[in-house]
Amino acid sequence: MSYDAHFKVWRGDADGGSLVDYTVTVNEGEVVLDIIHRLQATEAADLAVRWNCKAGKCGSCSAEINGRPRLMCMTRMSLLDPAEPVVVTPMRAFPVVRDLVTDVSFNYAKAREVPSFVPPAGVGPGEYRMQQEDVGRSQEFRKCIECFLCQNTCHVVRDHEENKPVFAGPRFLMRVAELDMHPLDGAAEAGIDRKRGAQEDHGLGYCNITKCCTEVCPEHIKITDNALIPLKERAVDRKYDPLVWLGSKIRRRV
């Protein structure tokens, strides 16, 4: 059942690096992360890699396997052609730290820019009442394990470093959508317009809905269809609906 696989793993740091060849044993039922661990235990003790749960729940072991953004713990070796080399590189949208480890602080900075959940005024702990159908949409987005593969694959920042300051990325636009769809979020009462914010502060307009975020999501969240497009439609409600626009103009006059 075992065979020897040809691995090409990117080794290096911010000053440079290259793909290094390894030949390594693969056993039945193993995933790419197992092979990386075998390399660490045998011939590359200092091979840097992030990982935690090894069950697709924590989103730590994000990397690119044969050029595709994936979780290493959820990529079974049986899906890969044993005759072809397996190329493993760090995520290519973020600054590299060492080997397969990247600096993902971009994402933590963006997380801070999204206004938090605003508890509704006058509703105390234990008094929240929401129907299951009302929380379903937000719950889908809260399945996110923050592996940042969507952020990594999104060409808006992957291919254009200069867009990083103005674009929150799919994960955090989805966070805006999650809060905007939360049945008890009190943002509006507190003077926060999440719909407008999505467009003006978080760069929703940069998204051209080419759906790579949805394609790579290991949690199979329909990021584009259920979060980004509805958010765009909500922004249209605010900004491009002539009737709404006219109404707000008139109201402002009065």
Partner 1 sequence: MSRTAREAWDVVVVGAGGAGLRAAIEARERGMRCAVICKSLFGKAHTVMAEGGIAASMGNVNEGDNWQVHFRDTMRGGKFLNHWRMAELHAREAPDRVWELETWGAVFDRTRDGKISQRNFGGHEYPRLAHVGDRTGLELIRTLQQKIVSLQQEDHRETGDYESRLKVFQEYTVTRLLKAGADGDSAAGERIAGVFGYARESGRFFAIEAPSVVLATGGIGKSFKVTSNSWEYTGDGHALALLAGASLINMEFVQFHPTGMVWPPSVKGILVTESVRGDGGVLRNSDGRRFMFDYVPDVFKEKYAESEAEGDRWYQDPDNNRRPPELLPRDEVARAINSEVKAGRGSPHGGVFLDVSTRLPAEDIKRKLPSMHHQFKELADVDITAEPMEVGPTCHYVMGGVDVDPDTAAAVGVPGLFAAGEVAGGMHGSNRLGGNSLSDLLVFGRRAGLYAAEHAASFPGAGRPVVSEADLEAAEAEALRPFGAEGGDPAVSEELAENPYALHQELQQAMNDLVGIIRKGPEMEEALRRLTELRARSRRAGVEGHRQFNPGWHLALDLRNMLLVSECVARAALERTESRGGHTRDDHPAMDRRWRRLNLVCRLNGDSTEPGADPLLGRVRLERREMPPIRDDLLALFDKEELVKYLTDEELTS
Partner 2 sequence: MATGTDPRSATAAGVPAQGGVHHPSRATIPARHLRADRWWLAPAVTAAGLFAFVVYSTWRAFANDDYYAAPYVSPFYSPCIAQNCVPMKGGADWHVFGAWWGLSPALLILIFPLGFRLTCYYYRKAYYRGFWASPPACAVAEPHAKYTGETRFPLILQNVHRYFFYFAVIVAGILTYDTALGFRNARGEWGHMGLGTLVLLANIALIWAYTLSCHSCRHIVGGRIRTFSKHPVRYRMWGWVSALNARHMQLAWASLISVAVADFYVYLVASGVFDDPRFF
> In the complex, which residues of this chain contact partner 1 (CB under 8 A)?
13, 27-31, 34, 40-41, 45-60, 74, 76, 97-99, 101, 104, 108, 111-112, 115-117, 119, 124-126, 128-132, 135, 138-139, 142-146, 179, 182, 219-220
Minimum CB distance to partner 1, residue 50 (Å): 7
Residues 147 and 105: their CA atoms lie apart, in Å, by: 12
Among 42, 134, 244, 249, binds partner 2 (CB under 8 A): 134
Q: Decide which of partner 1, partner 2, none touches 212; Cβ closer than 5 to 8 Å per partner kind.
A: partner 2
Kindly compute the dihedral angle of the four CA atoms of residues 166, 169, 175, 180, in this order, to the nearest 10 degrees: 60
Say whether residue 64 binds partner 2 (CB under 8 A). Answer: yes
Helical H runs in 143-216? 149-153, 155-158, 170-180, 194-200, 212-216
Do 128 and 91 contact (CB within 8 A), yes or no? no
Question: Is residue 92 near partner 2 by the rule CB under 8 A?
Answer: yes
- Chain center to CA of 146: 6
Q: Which is nearer to partner 2, 59 or 90 (CB)?
A: 90
Burial class (CB in 10 A: 0-12, 13-18, 19+), 185: buried
Contact present, 56 and 31 (Cβ < 8 Å):
no
User: What does R_g of the chain's alpha carbons equal in angstroms?
Assistant: 22
The secondary structure of 65-91 as a DSSP string is ETTEEEEGGG-BGGGS-TTSPEEEE--
Determine if 220 is a binding residue for partner 2 (CB under 8 A): no
Q: Is residue 153 a contact residue for partner 2 (CB under 8 A)?
A: yes
Within 4-43, the residues that bind partner 2 by CB under 8 A are: 10, 12, 14, 16-19
- Per CB under 8 A, residues contacting partner 2 are 10, 12, 14, 16-19, 64, 66-69, 84, 87, 89-90, 92-96, 102-106, 108-109, 131, 133-134, 153, 155-156, 158-164, 180-181, 183, 203, 205-212, 215-216, 225, 229-230, 232-237, 239-241
